[in-house]
Structures are given as C-alpha cells and as structure tokens.
C-alpha cells in the first residue's frame, strides 16, 4: 500500500490499539479513532496532525455511524470490555485464540483452558463467536478479516507473527498490532478467521 489510507480504529486506547495507531501514523497514514477518553489516547500516542479523534462509545445508539465510516478505507476493531462482554455483545472482528471460528473446531485442551484457567474471558469468546457467525453468514457486502489473536502482554517484540490455520503463539500487543496492520491490507486474508504464530504457520 503506497498511498495514504485512512483507518478507522475502534479500541485505540487499548493494549493492541495504541500500538496499531502509532504504527499506522508512523507510516504516514491517517487514523480516525472513536474513543471514550481522548485524553487517554493523547497520553498513549501523542498528538499527530493525521489523527482525528471522535469522542464516544460504540454502544451509544445516537452515534453517527455513517459519519464515522465516511471517507474511511479500513475499519479495524480492537475493542474489548471483559466485564460488559459477560452479558452483552459489543465485539469486534478481533477474536481470541480460544474463540472457535464459525463451523470450526477447538481442541479439547483449548476448551478446557477456556472454561478453567481463562474462564473470566468466556463471555468475550462467546461474543467473538457470535461476530464470526454473523460475518460468515450475513456480511457478504463487506471484506472482513478476523484475527484470532493470542495475546500475552505488553513488551518488546518477540518476532513477526504469521497467519496460521492451526497454531497460535502468545504474542505481545505490539506484534499483534503489526500483524493486524499487515493483514488488514492483505487481499488474500479476506473472509478468513485465522490464528497467528511466530515463525512459519
């Protein structure tokens, strides 16, 4: 992609989102970010003439969603709200490695982890799965991509994440952001719900 594109970023103040915004701006692209707390975004990524900030919540029924997407080339959703997602569906096209793709499988080990060690996030996974089912069955009119990320922590890069149908790595937020940036402009990734891993997939 050599032209200057505009990315609408949802979840820009999050662990992954803040890196995504910084990486895209560093390449000279434009970002429109919907955030609940603009001051938080300014603290995390600084000022930039190519950064346009909209204050608001994705769950606000009065949000001007048509205006939000006008002039946008890519929409990247890295939203997450663990507490809210225990009971509501607000998610995103950015799922976890413990989320099952529509009509896909998770191994018995991953199911066990999801409902034991990771049970606090079970609502997010169920929410992610509802989104993947919607995309697979009803969203013929958009070119969507789901990243079933396995994120561990912030910190230094551990390498370059590759797309994978079967393996996932516990990655850093920065590496996940870089993966999302590469993949969202990759035509061959359209309509996939893949995992990501360091090394070859």
Ligand X SMILES: NC(=O)c1ccc[n+]([C@@H]2O[C@H](COP(=O)([O-])OP(=O)(O)OC[C@H]3O[C@@H](n4cnc5c(N)ncnc54)[C@H](OP(=O)(O)O)[C@@H]3O)[C@@H](O)[C@H]2O)c1
Question: Which listed residue (96, 132, 161, 162) binds ligand X by CB under 6 A?
Answer: 96
- Exactly one of 31, 81, 100, 194 binds ligand X (CB under 6 A); that residue is 81
Helices and strands of the chain, counted as H and E runs: 6, 10
Instruction: State the CB neighbour count (10 A cutoff) for residue 178.
Output: 19
Closest CB 115 distance from ligand X, rounded Å = 16
Query: How many residues of this chain bind ligand X (CB under 6 A)?
Result: 28
- Least CB distance to ligand X at residue 36 (A): 4
Residue 194 lies near ligand X (rule: CB under 6 A): no
Instruction: Write phi, then psi, for 16 (nearest 5 degrees).
Output: -85, -40
Q: Which of 7, 51, 91, 183 binds ligand X (CB under 6 A)?
A: 91
The contact mask relative to ligand X for 108-147 (x = CB under 6 A, - = no) is: ----------------x-----------------------
Integer Cα distance of 112 and 59 in angstroms: 31
Q: Using the rule CB under 6 A, give the single segment among 9-17, 135-143, 182-190, 193-201 that binds ligand X.
A: 9-17
Kindly state whether residue 38 participates in binding ligand X, applying the rule CB under 6 A. no
Alpha-carbon 185 to chain mean position: 14
Q: How far is the CB of 2 from ligand X (least distance, A)?
A: 28
Direct distance between the N- and C-terminal alpha carbons of the chain, in angstroms, rounded to an integer: 23
Question: What element of type H or E holds 38?
Answer: helix 38-45
Radius of gyration of the chain (CA): 16
Helical (H) or strand (E) element with 7: strand 6-10
* Beta-bridge partner residues of 198: 161
Residues at the site binding ligand X, with contacts judged by CB under 6 A: 11-17, 34, 36-37, 40, 57-59, 78-81, 90-92, 94, 96, 124, 149-151, 173
């Amino acid at each position: 992609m050599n032209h200057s594109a505009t990315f609408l970023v949802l979840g820009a103040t999050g662990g992954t989102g803040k890196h995504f915004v910084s990486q895209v701006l560093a390449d000279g692209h434009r970002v429109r970010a919907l955030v609940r707390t603009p001051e938080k975004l300014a603290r995390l990524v600084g000022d930039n003439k190519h950064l346009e900030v909209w204050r608001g919540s994705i769950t606000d029924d009065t949000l001007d969603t048509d205006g939000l997407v006008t002039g946008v080339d890519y929409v990247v959703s890295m939203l997450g709200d663990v507490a809210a997602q225990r009971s509501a569906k607000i998610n995103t096209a950015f799922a976890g490695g413990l989320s099952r793709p529509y009509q896909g499988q998770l191994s018995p080990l991953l199911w066990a982890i999801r409902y034991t060690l990771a049970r606090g996030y079970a609502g997010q996974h169920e929410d992610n799965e509802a989104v993947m089912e919607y995309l697979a069955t009803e969203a013929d009119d958009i070119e969507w991509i789901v990243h079933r990320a396995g994120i561990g922590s912030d910190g230094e890069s551990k390498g370059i994440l590759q797309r994978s149908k079967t393996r996932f790595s516990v990655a850093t937020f920065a590496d996940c952001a870089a993966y999302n940036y590469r993949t969202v402009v990759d035509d061959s990734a359209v309509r996939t719900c893949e995992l990501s891993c360091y090394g070859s997939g």
